[in-house]
């Protein structure tokens, strides 16, 4: 399962610090940033369990970073 978040992270060093914090608090997930994307995407992936969206948001907001779950506006 994959969840995608929009953030305001625009610096690789800050992204690395956030990733380190997330990995220490939530080691069951794989995390990565796409800072090239206009939404500064943070991805969280789990092989076999649902991604705990609220836990991820809590950790990131604790670092004073803006984050929200990415809502896909595409509709068929």
List, edge to edge, every strand of the sheet that includes 41-45. Answer: 30-34, 41-45, 2-7, 67-69
In contact, 42 and 67? CB cutoff 8 Å: yes
Indicate the pTM of the whole model.
0.89
Length of the chain: 76
Ordered domains of the chain (ranges, CATH)? 2-69 (3.30.70.100)
Residue 73, pLDDT score: 55
Q: How many CB atoms lie within 10 A of CB 7?
A: 22
* Beta-sheet pairing, 67-69 with 30-34: unpaired
* CA 63/CA 76 separation, integer angstroms: 37
The low-confidence residues of the chain, meaning pLDDT below 50, are 74-76
Residue 36, pLDDT score: 94
Residue 71, pLDDT score: 80
């Amino acid at each position: 399962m994959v969840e995608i978040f929009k953030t305001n992270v625009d610096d690789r060093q800050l992204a690395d610090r956030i990733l380190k914090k997330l990995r220490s608090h939530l080691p069951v997930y794989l995390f990565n940033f796409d800072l090239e994307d206009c939404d500064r995407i943070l991805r969280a992936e789990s092989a076999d369990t649902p991604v705990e969206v609220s836990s991820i948001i809590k950790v990131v907001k604790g670092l004073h970073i803006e984050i929200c779950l990415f809502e896909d506006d595409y509709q068929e």
